[in-house]
Amino acid sequence: MKIFYKTRATSVGGRDGHVALDDGSFGLDLVSFNNDNGKKGANPEQLFAMGYAACFDNALIHIIQQQKLQGVATKTSCAVGIGQKNDGGFALDIDLDVEVRGLDKSAAIELVKRGHDVCPYSDATRGNINVRLHVSLVDTFDI
């Protein structure tokens, strides 16, 4: 595989610590999802949701451009849950909600399925994290 890009981040203190990109361009304090001490910050599930949403939406844009689909656009939201498995370990649970403008329902579903085949996050989670795809048609996007 030819690597197009690689980045590195470092965390100190785990879920209640700090994480930053090693190049210094971005960093933030972390808090556990069950944070009740009022500390401000994000948690790893939120960061994963942001990355997956952006990556998946870009996979859709890539397909739209490849297929030269005029007037088609998407908006992707990603919900990430975390829970404990029966063996005591932890696992993620994901819902991808994709709004599609400019296609009929059948074509929109096919676009999202193809996006799930192309997206590197989807590829990384395939077979070990439950990912549900939800597709809706819209005329405009609310952001």
pLDDT in tens, 103-119: 999 999 999 999 999 99
* The pLDDT value given to residue 36: 66
pLDDT, position 39: 74
pLDDT of residue 102: 96
Q: Within this chain, do residues 80 and 107 fall inside the same structural domain, yes or no? A: yes
Q: Are strands 73-84 and 90-101 parallel, antiparallel or unpaired?
A: antiparallel
Q: Global pTM?
A: 0.91
In sequence order, what are the residues at sequence separation of 6 or more whose Cβ sits closer than 8 angstroms to the Cβ of residue 97?
A: 76, 77, 78, 79, 134, 136
Chain Cα centroid distance, residue 83: 18
Same domain assignment for residues 30 and 86: no
> What CATH number is given to the structural domain containing 123?
3.30.300.20
Query: Do both 4 and 69 map to the same domain?
Result: no
- Below-50 pLDDT ranges, the chain: none
Could you tell me the residue range of the domain that residue 7 belongs to?
A: 1-42
Q: Is the dihedral of CA 2, 133, 127, 92 positive or negative?
A: positive
